[in-house]
């Protein structure tokens, strides 16, 4: 029943449009908050999240495949189908992530998001090498980065406690997506972009020096205009050098 309610909420459209969808999501959010069995809530949200992630990932994979780019009359229609599917399910993922973080059951979402090397490569190829998505789903980079930002902020604040390996892979795979997207996103998203940059830098500061050294150098792309715009980056490098100057214990 609970899984069915979640699926109905995220797929609802109907004659009332966005208002109808908003009501269904608000109703299901309230139901989820009031279920006492946290393990049950975790189970159904994990199942819904994995389902939408699978569809989103496969849609981008198909969109990036050579078959989708061969010269035939149906190419544009196929591209539109794959991109719209990816966009729709990315929005589902965002709503699901927000519920999971709110209810403190987002461990699976973070772990799965940190394992998406192939997905992040497809996103980078699409956003870097192709302009088709701009005319079909121009908001796709924003939605994808908002998903990543929700998780990054939860990790940086301690709302999600994740092992070092998960934190490392999360930043390693998604930092290049942020770098590629920085010139392709709506200017209105700039504040969210800086928020995501700051969250990544906080996570990097929790990693061993060797890992943080490699990742921190990639963050130079955050400096897009002048030094006054990247005080968060200056602070992160100062923190790294301060940590590196501390003497190691004898057994290290």
pLDDT at 126: 87
The pLDDT tens digits along the chain (252 residues) read 999 999 999 987 644 456 667 889 999 999 999 998 999 999 999 999 999 999 999 999 988 876 665 555 567 788 889 999 999 999 999 999 999 999 999 999 999 999 999 999 999 988 887 677 888 898 899 999 999 999 999 999 999 999 999 999 999 999 999 988 876 666 656 777 888 999 999 999 999 999 999 999 998 888 765 666 678 888 899 999 998 988 766 555
Residue 170 backbone dihedrals phi, psi, to 5 degrees:
-55, -50
Residue 240 resides in a domain: yes
Number of domains the chain is built from: 1
pTM for the model stands at: 0.88
pLDDT at 15: 45
Distance CA(114)–CA(16), nearest Å, equals 37
Domain with 140 in it: 2-9+36-244
Residue 91 resides in a domain: yes
Q: How far is CA 62 from CA 82, 118, 249, in A?
A: 7, 12, 51
Distance CA(85)–CA(102), nearest Å, equals 26
Considering just the CA atoms, what is the radius of gyration of the chain in Å? 20
pLDDT at 134: 84
Q: How far is CA 73 from CA 63, 68, 132, 210, in A?
A: 15, 11, 15, 50
pLDDT at 78: 84
Residue 185 resides in a domain: yes
Residue 226 resides in a domain: yes
Residue 151 resides in a domain: yes
Residue 70 backbone dihedrals phi, psi, to 5 degrees:
-70, 155
């Amino acid at each position: 029943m609970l899984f069915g309610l979640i699926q109905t909420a995220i797929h609802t459209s109907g004659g009332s449009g966005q208002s109808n969808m908003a009501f269904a999501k608000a109703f299901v959010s309230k139901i989820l908050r009031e279920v006492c069995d946290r393990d049950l809530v975790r189970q159904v949200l994990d199942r819904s999240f994995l389902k939408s992630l699978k569809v989103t990932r496969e849609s981008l994979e198909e969109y990036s495949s050579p078959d989708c780019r061969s010269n035939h009359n149906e190419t544009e229609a196929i591209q539109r189908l794959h991109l719209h599917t990816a966009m729709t399910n990315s929005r589902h993922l965002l709503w699901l992530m927000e519920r999971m973080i709110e209810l403190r059951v987002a461990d699976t979402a973070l772990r799965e998001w940190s394992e998406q090397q192939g997905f992040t490569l497809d996103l980078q190829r699409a956003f870097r090498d192709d302009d088709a998505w701009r005319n079909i789903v121009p908001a796709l980079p924003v939605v994808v980065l908002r998903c990543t930002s929700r998780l990054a902020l939860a990790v940086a604040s301690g709302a999600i406690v994740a092992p070092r390996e998960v934190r490392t892979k999360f930043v390693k795979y998604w930092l290049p997506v942020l770098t590629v997207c920085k010139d392709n996103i709506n200017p209105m998203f700039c504040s969210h972009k800086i928020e995501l940059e700051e969250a990544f830098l906080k996570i990097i500061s929790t990693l061993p020096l060797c890992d943080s050294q490699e990742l921190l150098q990639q963050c130079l792309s955050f400096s897009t205009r002048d030094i006054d715009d990247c005080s968060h980056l200056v602070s992160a490098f100062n923190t790294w050098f301060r940590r590196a100057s501390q003497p190691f214990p004898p057994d290290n």
